[in-house]
Amino acid sequence: MPLLFGELSGFPSWVPVVLLVSLSFVLGFLARLILLRFIRYWQIRDRKLFKSLEKHLSGSMFFFVPLLMINVGVNYIDFHPESLSLITNIINVFIIMSFCSVLIRLTNVAQDMLYIRYDINISNNLRARKIRTQIIYVKKVVIVILVLFCVSLILLSFPGVRKFGTTILAGAGVAGIIIGFALQKSLVNLFAGIQIAFTQPIKIDDAVVVEKEWGWIEEINLTYVVVRIWDLRRLVLPITYFTENPFQNWTRNNAQILGSVFLYVDYSMPLEPLRKHFEKVLSETKLWDQETSVLQVTDTTEKTMTIRMLMTAQNSPIAFDLRCYVREKMIEFIQQNYPESLPQVRASLTDSGGEKVGKGVAE
């Protein structure tokens, strides 16, 4: 390389620069091509891993390798010492940024592999949801640490910053106290997130009731949580909400949900046919998980009796559909077979003298 650029000494100063940059990007393209070929060759052994590597690393490696080549080749170009120092520092900054990008993308690869291992698209996904919640939060913390580390390296690459290093360290105690007060709310959110990630009052895909809204935990971020409401709205709450306020978690220990349906019928309604039809309705649908089915009279009034039907389903969305299905089928059964047992209002008719002259029933 010294011979190559030495032979170009008679050319304008920009020619070696253009040649170096072009050659570096060509080599970077070749390195990327070789990497992709290698990944595709080894996909036979572990297709999912290498597919993730190809997805996340193909772009970042295209810049990382050329920057390394430029950093080496720039020393063989005739630059003024001050200009060479500035150019080297700038290139080092981009190398650090590119390296940080590669590390962050490797965390994405690790996340993909763990997601494959802990699949939540199964019926009994409690353990998978626990692990995924921790993975998401740990990944975000790791990315923050990597970014801070790379920013520190960038700052330390400038001699002027290193000179003030001792002064900065001497004032770190006082600065830490000031920053602590300034970022008190952010630090509270950070520690609340750590608490949630490992004690797990909520997990990814948990069914919860918060602020009188029912939905699922969609995202757990460093400072906030996104709840997907049943009608596809999004409820965004600070992460401290789940450590400071009561809320309902329907899938804390198990995704299985116990659903209930209430019917209000007349006292003339026979219970045994109703109970048999309820069992028949459940046996004919795949929404029921065949665990629990109970029909009971739970309350009475002067006009009607309250019949409660309990049934279980694998998760809350299925339980909602099951409740609607059972409610429709039971109402249809009563309408077709016992219409006289629908709620009625009974009245006694008397004349002006107070003597009973008849009675009637108003449906």
Identify the CATH number of the domain in which residue 206 sits.
2.30.30.60
Per residue in 279-337, pLDDT (tens digit) is 999 999 999 988 889 999 999 988 899 999 999 988 778 888 999 999 999 999 999 99
In this structure, the strands spanning 224-229 and 207-210 are unpaired
- Residue ranges making up the domain that contains 79: 12-119+127-158
Q: Which residue has the higher pLDDT, 165 or 286?
A: 286
Alpha-carbon span 57 to 64, nearest angstrom: 10
Q: Which residue has the higher pLDDT, 86 or 335?
A: 335
Which pLDDT belongs to residue 78? 60
Residue 166 has pLDDT above 90, yes or no: no
DSSP E strand stretches across 275-344: 293-300, 305-313
Q: Of 75, 101, 93, which is closest to residue 1 (Cα–Cα)? A: 75
Confidence of residue 180 (pLDDT cuts 50, 70, 90): low
Residues 139 and 188 in one domain: no
Q: Which of 137-146, 234-243, 269-278, 352-361 has the lowest mean pLDDT?
A: 352-361
Which pLDDT belongs to residue 210? 92
Residues 179 and 227 in one domain: yes
Residues 73 and 194 in one domain: no
Which pLDDT belongs to residue 88? 75
Residue 5 has pLDDT above 50, yes or no: no
In a domain? residue 354: no
Per residue in 228-246, pLDDT (tens digit) is 998 889 999 998 899 889 9
Which pLDDT belongs to residue 4? 46
In a domain? residue 57: yes
